[in-house]
Amino acid sequence: QLRLVESGGGLVQPGGSLRLSCVTSGFTLELYSIGWFRQAPGKEREGVSCISSSGVNTYYADSVKGRFTISRDNGKNTVYLQMSDLKPEDTAVYYCAAEGPYFSDYVPIATFEYDYWGQGTQVTVSS
């Protein structure tokens, strides 16, 4: 059974950093694109960062460019989202999602393109 489990969220002060992990199981990670999405209260779910199954191409929302970095370690079945210089507007539940299986440089960035989702991890940025 395909499964994604997020961890690493928490409460952090503005300007701080967190690293989110998405641990996968039940499928061959290297054949799946992975995306990080977030949803704040009262707002739609939005794409934050995505990485192709090949790992060659990535996507970042304008609001996080230069502050967030996505990476994947297929050997550990894990995709990471390193978040730095966090702002209160980054507060949301963060989800990872998988789309595949295929090996490609294509980066899906829309929520409807992703078939499998984790349960989410809360990130709160507040002083």
| pLDDT of 107 | 97
Token pair of 4, please? 């994604």
| pLDDT of 39 | 98
| pLDDT of 88 | 97
- The CA distance from 94 to 86, in Å, is 14
| pLDDT of 37 | 98
Let me know: does 33 contact 108? Beta carbons within 8 Å: yes
- The CA distance from 31 to 101, in Å, is 5
pLDDT digits (tens, 9 = 90+) for 60-116: 999 999 999 999 999 999 999 999 999 999 999 999 999 999 999 999 999 999 999
- The CA distance from 79 to 70, in Å, is 7
Token pair of 106, please? 């294509």
